[in-house]
Amino acid sequence: MSNVVSKNSAINVVNLEKSVTTQEGSLTILKGINLDVKQGESVAILGPSGSGKSTLLGLLAALDTPTAGEIWLDGEALSPLNEEQKAALRKQKVSFIFQSFMLVDTLTALENVMLPAELAGVKNAKEKAEAMLGRVGLSHRLTHLPKQLSGGEQQRVAIARAFICEPKVLFADEPTGNLDSVNGHKIADMLFELNQENHTTLILVTHDLQLAKRCQRQLVMDNGHLQENEHPNALQSNSACESNSITASAKEA
């Protein structure tokens, strides 16, 4: 496989596959995925629950290892890297907002947000973390532990933590999934400000069609296959099956 990848690609993926072993045998979650995302692009990944969106995000962010294929993150191939090198690459280039937040239980909101900045040796980590928590509307919750915060508040702490190091690529798995519409809009505005001001590449997994339509590109995951959707206005939420059944009706059109 060629190691040459376009210089302005934030993410390049060739023939990516992911299988896991289950009690029932081998399960192939991702099937022959190809993808090229330019630096500074905003990309939404839609698709039904269980179709493989979080699995793909984890692989792209070098948090997981593919079964086959290659991923280049900011021009660097991931497969030759050991765990330590992958951790260093993540620290340097990537932030991740997890579907399950992944806050450190024993640290306060402020300490959770400060942590990546301190690890990266950022000066004034505390002041920056306070300012970032202010931007997500949590100045009054600095000393609360995660268990003392609501789901939406925990999500906003996770967002503040992801923003503090001004990543090159921001991966967000359902970043507005636990938020009311006012906070959801505010967080979406912050995501696109980061994208426009810092040229941060955004890869968002979302069931929120309004958020998806604000992205430059919409991709649809369907049973481990990823397809570009060229007709964002035709994306529809199937109300009969709740919010997690986003269908790309344009695909059939």
Ligand X SMILES: Nc1ncnc2c1ncn2[C@@H]1O[C@H](COP(=O)(O)OP(=O)(O)OP(=O)(O)O)[C@@H](O)[C@H]1O
Binding residues for Mg ion (CB under 5 A): 54, 99
The full DSSP string for 207-228 is: S-HHHHHHSSEEEEEETTEEEE
52 binds ligand X (CB under 6 A): yes
Number of chain residues interacting with ligand X (CB under 6 A): 14
E strand segments, 107-222: 169-173, 201-205, 217-222
| Subset of residues 159 to 218 that bind ligand X, contact rule: CB under 6 A | none
Stretch near ligand X under the rule CB under 6 A, chosen from 49-57, 76-84, 123-131, 225-233: 49-57
CA-closest candidate to residue 99, choices 38, 132, 50, 169 = 50
User: Count of CB atoms within 10 A of residue 17's CB?
Assistant: 16
Query: If contact means CB under 5 to 8 A according to the sort of partner, which of Mg ion, ligand X, none does residue 52 touch?
Result: ligand X
CB contact at 8 A, 45 and 208:
no
Q: What angle do CA 137, 214, 159 make, to 5 degrees?
A: 30
d(CA 82, CA 88): 10
Q: Which of 10, 16, 29, 109 binds ligand X (CB under 6 A)?
A: 29
Question: How far apart are CB 54 and ligand X at their closest, in Å?
Answer: 3
| Subset of residues 53 to 112 that bind ligand X, contact rule: CB under 6 A | 53-55, 99
| Nearer CB in complex with Mg ion: 58/137 | 58
Tokens standing for 252? 């059939």
Question: How far apart are CB 207 and Mg ion at their closest, in Å?
Answer: 10
20 binds ligand X (CB under 6 A): yes
Binding site for ligand X (CB under 6 A): 20, 22, 27, 29, 47, 49-55, 99, 244
